[in-house]
């Protein structure tokens, strides 16, 4: 069996997912997105062990929360994750809604407009919060040159349709790996804007603080910003109370300096945002180890 041949388990898992999405597409968009959110919250989360991982993370990062608050997040976090995935697989309906109803704002908006006019490269520091693909859809709708680095899924069967789905929202996309990184650097040098995540644990990364706890944080966004004189701005797609629309918030540009300090500033800003919208961050990640 070759390395790219999906295992039986991967094929079965992928078949279940495609069947679920096929049924969901029979529903209108306004019902489909919350329906998938509910399914992830009530079915996927307990089977996948997400509930306990959310509780464990909250016990470390937010020990001040009472049991009722924790259990509400145990339900709400997978709901947001399910909605986000359903939105990605809703293609044109998702991007059309973003363009028609999305709002873009924040203190960094003027800096982005100036960067576009001067063709200055930009590093968009984003996190697994709300729906990070909402940001790409909104910026591309403005005609801004947004690319993104992504990690191919371990499940090759799933990856075969996941990559086309995220590519349909906005491109270019660059897979992690030598060829993808080389293309990414060429894009950045040409004045492109690159979306990079920074909120996952990386054992090879630098130890910084997040929720006043030590954790490993990549310095890549800061390093690339310094190397290519790129603007570094935090950006997030914040899900609105109706559960379907988004406000794209662009934070203040991060001042160039020591990479550690730049990334700590991003960690601090993300923490403040999460504290205001606890249910929208992906507490399922193993952020602290």
pLDDT at position 143 is 93
196 CB neighbour count, 10 Å cutoff: 19
Q: How far, in Å, CA of 227 to CA of 213, rounded?
A: 29
CA dihedral of residues 131, 135, 137, 139 (deg, nearest 10)? 180
Q: How far, in Å, CA of 110 to CA of 101, rounded?
A: 21
Partnered with residue 123 across adjacent β-strands are 194, 232
CA distances 48 to 94, 136, 251, 261, 283, Å, are 27, 29, 34, 36, 14
User: Contact 253/231 with Cβ under 8 angstroms?
Assistant: yes
User: Contact 137/169 with Cβ under 8 angstroms?
Assistant: yes
pLDDT at position 6 is 77
pTM of the model: 0.92
Q: In terms of DSSP H, where are the helices of 42-177?
A: 45-48, 50-61, 67-88, 92-101, 109-118, 132-141, 156-169
Share of the chain above pLDDT 90, in %: 79
**Contacts with 7 (C-beta within 8 Å, 6 or more apart), sequence order:** none
Q: How far, in Å, CA of 143 to CA of 9, rounded?
A: 41
3 state DSSP class of 25? coil
Query: Average pLDDT over the chain, rounded to whole?
Result: 93
Q: Confidence class of residue 2 from pLDDT cuts 50, 70 and 90?
A: very low
Q: In what order do the strands lie in the sheet with 231-239?
A: 103-105, 246-250, 231-239, 122-126, 193-197, 146-150, 173-175
Q: Confidence class of residue 177 from pLDDT cuts 50, 70 and 90?
A: confident
Q: Which residue has tokens 């096929």? A: 22
Q: How far, in Å, CA of 90 to CA of 18, rounded?
A: 13
pLDDT digits (tens, 9 = 90+) for 3-61: 567 788 788 888 888 888 888 889 999 999 999 999 999 999 999 999 999 999 999 99
pLDDT at position 269 is 98
Between residues 170 and 236, the one the model is more confident about: 236
CA distances 53 to 50, 101, 283, Å, are 5, 34, 8
Q: Confidence class of residue 1 from pLDDT cuts 50, 70 and 90?
A: very low
**Contacts with 13 (C-beta within 8 Å, 6 or more apart), sequence order:** 155, 157, 158
User: Contact 260/206 with Cβ under 8 angstroms?
Assistant: yes
What secondary structure letter does DSSP report for 284?
T
Sorted by where each begins, the domain ranges of the chain are: 8-280
User: What is the helix, strand, coil percentage profile of the chain, to 5?
Assistant: 55, 15, 30
Asked, as a colleague might, if the bond just before 172 is cis with ω within 30 of 0, I would say: yes
pLDDT at position 32 is 97
- pLDDT higher than threshold 90 for residue 188: yes
pLDDT digits (tens, 9 = 90+) for 155-165: 788 888 888 88
pLDDT at position 114 is 97
């Amino acid at each position: 069996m070759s390395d790219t041949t999906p295992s039986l388990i991967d094929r079965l898992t992928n078949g279940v997912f495609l069947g679920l999405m096929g049924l969901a597409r029979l529903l209108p968009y306004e019902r489909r997105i919350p329906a998938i959110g509910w399914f992830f919250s009530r079915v996927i989360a307990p089977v996948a062990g997400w509930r306990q991982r959310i509780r464990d993370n909250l016990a470390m990062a937010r020990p001040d929360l009472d049991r009722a608050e924790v259990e509400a997040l145990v339900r709400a976090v997978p709901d947001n994750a399910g909605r986000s995935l359903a939105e990605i697989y809703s293609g044109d309906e998702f991007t059309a809604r973003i363009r028609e109803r999305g709002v873009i704002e924040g203190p960094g908006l003027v800096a982005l407009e100036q960067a576009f006019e001067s063709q200055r490269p930009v590093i968009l520091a984003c996190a697994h919060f709300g729906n990070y693909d909402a940001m790409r859809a909104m910026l591309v709708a403005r005609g801004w040159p947004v690319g993104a680095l992504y990690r191919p899924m371990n499940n090759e069967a799933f990856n075969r349709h996941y990559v086309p789905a995220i590519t349909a929202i906005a491109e270019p996309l660059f897979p992690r790996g030598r060829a993808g990184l080389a293309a990414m650097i060429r894009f950045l040098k040409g004045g492109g804007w690159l979306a990079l995540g920074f909120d996952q644990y990386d054992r090879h990364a630098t130890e910084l603080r997040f929720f006043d706890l030590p954790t490993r944080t990549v310095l890549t966004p800061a390093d690339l910003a310094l190397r290519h004189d790129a603007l570094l701005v935090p950006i997030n797609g914040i899900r609105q109370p109706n559960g379907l629309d988004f406000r794209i918030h662009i934070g203040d540009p991060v001042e160039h300096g020591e990479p550690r300090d730049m990334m700590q500033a991003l960690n601090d800003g993300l923490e403040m945002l999460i504290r205001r919208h606890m249910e929208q961050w992906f507490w399922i990640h193993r952020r602290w180890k």
